[in-house]
């Protein structure tokens, strides 16, 4: 075996430049811009950024990194919230944002294949002309590869599931540059190990996703949105549980606590009562959504809800959902100069009200501003700490509250993260959640990435 040079940096940069030319940048501004996601977590400048536009680019870069023992960290849109795309010292950043081609739209098969850097908004713009859409994923615009890598979901998970239920196949580059394809376009297969779902949610620690084949869906004939207020959070979750038990096929149901409502009122110009609030969305034929809305309205009234406000005009609905998706900037606007730390857990729906109530009591008792918003149809909610600039005490308190939140969720049979992923921020939480399975995860990691070069320090800290 050829010995590695004492300092692999000059050699790896020379090899990358020889193979990929102008796609390799060592400019400080470029390295800084591509070195981190949208989280509050630490990052360091990579040695270089490789602007990949094809699977071959990623394969060439990883082959070189593997030979020189240099880590590689992938990033596309950089919208993650747990540091999963943050560069580490001495690493090469593989920028996949230029991999933005839509490769195939299978209208008759309701699928689409795209490069990893394609944004959800771009995919939906291309699908719309065929009467199709891809509704899965977070409210913020994100790359398809990033969403698949984190197993993301969002407001529509109650109806359409998460990325894990919607990825049919992948092109993956392994640590040594080998390219493999997993899954396919058929809706089911009993052929061999399910490698597709090994890589979905692995956050680039087992291989780098370069192409993704997705399920897509028809655009519904009609849609309607309803907003209503409640005296307490417990009433909100009781209504959602009753609606699910009644079989109402809601496409979205979102909970906003009173602090969130106040924030979005100020930021987005709404005039909602400052009370715990639910937003429902119904889709289908006009007759179907009228029936769905009537059923849910009856349940709302039975559980103390007030102010049922229904809208089916597209512009009005868009304003409502835009306000919901702008909650993070609306939180930051509550305290000038502040930053936000958004975390999430998911619990069985029967325990959701208890978990939210205990969490809110915890933040209130410690004087920490941390509004709550949740995808309550699947038991997932977010706590967003609003951190005043330079307030070390608030940051420390937020960390302790987050630890208790995770412990609370795990004690209720839940998980440490419903959709943000583990990244850098929740590696300790993963050990608490899956202690007995960690050695198996480590064995898989070691088998696929024996030199530990793929996104080091993420998911499995050791």
Domains annotated on the chain, with CATH:
8-98 (3.30.43.10), 102-218 (3.30.465.10), 222-323 (3.30.70.2190), 329-425 (3.30.70.2740)
What average pLDDT score do residues 264-293 get?
94
Residue 157 in this model has a pLDDT that exceeds 70:
yes
Residue 374 has pLDDT above 70, yes or no: yes
- For 403-417, how does the pLDDT look when each residue is reduced to its tens digit (9 = 90+)? 999 999 999 999 999
Confidence band for 172, pLDDT divided at 50, 70 and 90: very high
Contacts 24+ apart (CB under 8 A), 139-143: 139/321, 139/324, 139/325, 140/79, 140/325, 141/77, 141/79, 142/77, 142/79, 143/76, 143/77, 143/79, 143/96, 143/97, 143/116, 143/117, 143/118, 143/119
Confidence of residue 4 (pLDDT cuts 50, 70, 90): very low
Phi, psi of 143 (to 5 degrees): -80, 150
Contact 71, 204 (CB under 8 A): no
Q: Say whether pLDDT at 148 is over 50.
A: yes
Neighbours of 21 (CB within 10 A): 8
On the question of pLDDT at 308 being above 90, the answer is yes
Distance CA 29, CA 45 (A): 10
How many C-beta neighbours within 10 Å does residue 221 have? 12
d(CA 216, CA 109): 9
Residue with tokens 């302790």, as numbered in its chain: 400
Q: Tell me: the pLDDT tens digits for 53-109?
A: 999 999 999 999 999 999 999 999 999 999 999 999 899 999 999 999 999 999 999
**Residue 281 above 90 pLDDT?**
yes
Q: 10 Å Cβ neighbour count for 435?
A: 9
Q: Are 52 and 96 in contact (CB under 8 A)?
A: yes
Residues in CB range of 443: below 8 A, 6 or more apart: none
pLDDT in tens, 324-345: 888 999 999 999 999 999 999 9
Report the length, in residues, of the chain: 462
Other Cβ atoms closer than 10 A to 126: 16
- pLDDT tens, 295-307? 999 999 999 999 9
Cα(53)–Cα(304) distance, integer angstroms: 54
The mean predicted confidence, pLDDT, of the chain is 95
Measured distance CA(274)–CA(92) in Å, rounded = 47
> What distance in Å separates the CA atoms of residue 172 and residue 289, rounded to the nearest whole number?
41
Residue 1 pLDDT greater than 50, yes or no: no
Distances from the Cα of 252 to the Cα of 154, 283, 376, angstroms? 9, 9, 9
Note the pLDDT tens digit of each residue in 103-140: 999 999 999 999 999 999 999 999 999 999 999 999 88
Residue 2 has pLDDT above 70, yes or no: no
Is the confidence at residue 462, as pLDDT, over 70?
Answer: no
CB 37 within 8 A of CB 59: no
Mean of the pLDDT values across residues 17-29? Answer: 97
């Amino acid at each position: 075996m050829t010995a590695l040079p004492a300092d692999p940096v000059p050699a790896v940069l020379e090899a990358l430049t020889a193979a990929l030319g102008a796609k390799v940048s060592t400019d400080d501004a470029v390295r800084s811009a591509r070195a981190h996601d949208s989280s509050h977590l630490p990052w360091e400048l990579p040695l270089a950024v490789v602007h990949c536009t094809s699977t071959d680019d990623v394969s060439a870069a990883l082959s070189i990194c593997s030979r020189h023992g240099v880590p590689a960290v992938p990033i596309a849109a950089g919208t993650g919230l747990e540091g999963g795309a943050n560069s580490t010292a001495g690493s090469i950043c593989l920028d996949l944002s230029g991999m933005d081609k839509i490769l195939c739209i299978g209208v008759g098969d309701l699928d689409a294949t795209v490069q990893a850097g394609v944004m959800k908004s771009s995919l939906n713009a291309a699908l719309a002309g065929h009467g199709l859409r891809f509704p899965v994923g977070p409210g913020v615009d994100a790359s398809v590869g990033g969403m698949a890598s984190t197993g993301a979901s969002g407001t529509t998970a109650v109806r359409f599931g998460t990325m894990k239920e919607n990825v049919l196949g992948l092109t993956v580059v392994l640590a040594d540059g080998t390219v493999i394809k997993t899954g396919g376009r058929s809706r089911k297969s009993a052929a061999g190990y399910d490698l597709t779902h090994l890589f979905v949610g692995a956050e680039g620690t087992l291989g780098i996703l370069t192409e993704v084949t997705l399920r897509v869906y028809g655009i519904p004939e009609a849609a309607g949105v309803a907003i209503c207020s409640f005296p307490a959070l417990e009433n909100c979750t009781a209504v959602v549980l009753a609606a699910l038990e009644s079989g109402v096929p809601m496409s979205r149901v979102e909970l906003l606590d009173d602090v969130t409502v106040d924030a979005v009122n100020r930021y987005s110009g709404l005039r909602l009562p400052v009370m715990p609030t639910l937003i429902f969305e119904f889709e289908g034929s006009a007759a179907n959504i009228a029936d769905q809305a009537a059923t849910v309205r009856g349940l709302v009234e039975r559980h103390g809800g007030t102010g049922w406000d229904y809208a089916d005009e597209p512009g009005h609905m868009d304003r409502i959902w835009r306000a919901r998706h702008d909650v993070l900037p609306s939180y930051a606007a509550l305290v000038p100069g502040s930053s936000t730390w958004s975390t999430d857990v998911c619990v069985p729906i029967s325990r959701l009200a208890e978990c939210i109530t205990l969490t809110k009591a915890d933040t209130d008792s410690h004087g920490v501003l941390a509004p709550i918003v949740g995808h309550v149809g699947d038991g997932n909610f977010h706590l967003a700490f609003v951190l005043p600039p330079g307030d070390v005490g608030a940051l420390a308190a937020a960390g302790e509250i987050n630890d208790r939140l995770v412990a609370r969720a795990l004690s209720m049979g839940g998980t440490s993260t419903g959709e943000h992923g583990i990244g850098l921020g929740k590696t300790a939480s993963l050990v608490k959640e899956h202690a007995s399975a960690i050695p198996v995860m480590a064995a898989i990691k070691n088998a696929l990435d024996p030199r530990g070069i793929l996104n080091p320090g993420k998911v499995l800290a050791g």
